[in-house]
A and B are shown apart, each in its own frame.
Chain A
Amino acid sequence: MPSTLVCASDAPAMNTADPLLEVRDLKVHFFTRDGVVRAVDGVDYSVNRAETLGIVGESGSGKTVSSLAMLRLVPPPARTMGGQVLFEGEDLLAHTPKQMAALRGRRIAMIFQNPATSLNPIYSVGAQLSEILMWHEKASRRQAEERVVELLGLVGISDPGARLRQFPHELSGGMKQRVGIARALMCNPSLVLADEPTTALDVTIQAQILELLADLQARFRMSMVLVTHDMGVVARMATRITVMYAGRVCETADAGTIFSAPQHPYTRALLDSMPRIDQSYSGSARKTLPTIAGRPPNLLNPPPGCRFHDRCPEAMPECRKMMPVETTIAPGHSVSCLRRGSTGVAA
């Protein structure tokens, strides 16, 4: 990704918009032999209609698990332990398995990180895509295949009629990811969860795929949750950004604010540790790229109080004792930090 941070939208976030998806106090725990790992521990965020919410965080911050939890697809030994996932007003966590299956792929679809492993190797592209439509909309094979051809064309696959008969191993990585995107769009979902959709791709292909996603999102006025660890990707794609750390949300704001006026010390540290194109890291005037001291906490035994306190340059004694509560500090901008005026609860 280019390192220049050009924000996709500089317009202020519309707080009055009705949210399509609201995640409230979501908790997903892994029950391992060594104990309970609180991978997602009380996470809140919301996605408005036709906007892209970028969820950023390092590996293990719970961003992928929380998006799988929305579809109720967390793999064992993980279990969703509480919270609400309100999608168009319905709590998905209260749905029956049958209701969930009817919703997946039709109203909420997902794009996966690794295109090489997320397509079934023994079915042709046409077979695995048309199957979705045949199942959800009781379409005939011919109708479904027509729609697949149309979508493959839409995601920029040349000669889609011929690709229909091809198998995943006959396609390049970028092509496979385009098929993955087409699969997500089969039933015109109102929400697409994209889990690191470009991480497994070559840099040149990454840019193409992001462009495609942005284009499709605008064209179909879909909402999108873009999970990534790449600040460049969210800068380019997201309307609003949620920063996660160790299973909790640090800060949520519109994209412009996150990059121009980040409040949470972790957001600031994260942005500081990105290489800048206008900064030389070699030669006589070189600077060292700043890093965040320490390591992400072990969620088997998370630190008391604020999860970030032992790495935080601004930590004060209370941070060790009190868990900050997400607090709105400006319209559309919320932060969980005692230093920024969040109230704390004893932890």
Chain B
Amino acid sequence: MSATTRIFDPTAPAGDLPQLARRTLDGLIGKTIGFIDNAKPNFNFLVEDLAAEFVKNHGVKALVTRRKRGASIPADDAMIREIAARCDIVITGSGD
């Protein structure tokens, strides 16, 4: 039997931040949807088309669209507060 030694795990667990309750909804009808446009090319067009789809085909009542300064930075606090106060659902984007 070969000798053994012990080594430390250099990683830290991800996801050990408090897990909070999230709101649930039964559908889109009558809801207000907020978009945070991440300023990547084409996301503004997707937001525009989704907004039209939601109103025309999914019974969405109102839309709030805001644009971040850039994809690699968080939305500013005022934008988050405003959109959180006004919307039932908030849609963001990630990727290229």
Binding partners A and B: no
By a beta-carbon cutoff of 8 Å, the part of chain A in contact with chain B is: none
By a beta-carbon cutoff of 8 Å, the part of chain B in contact with chain A is: none
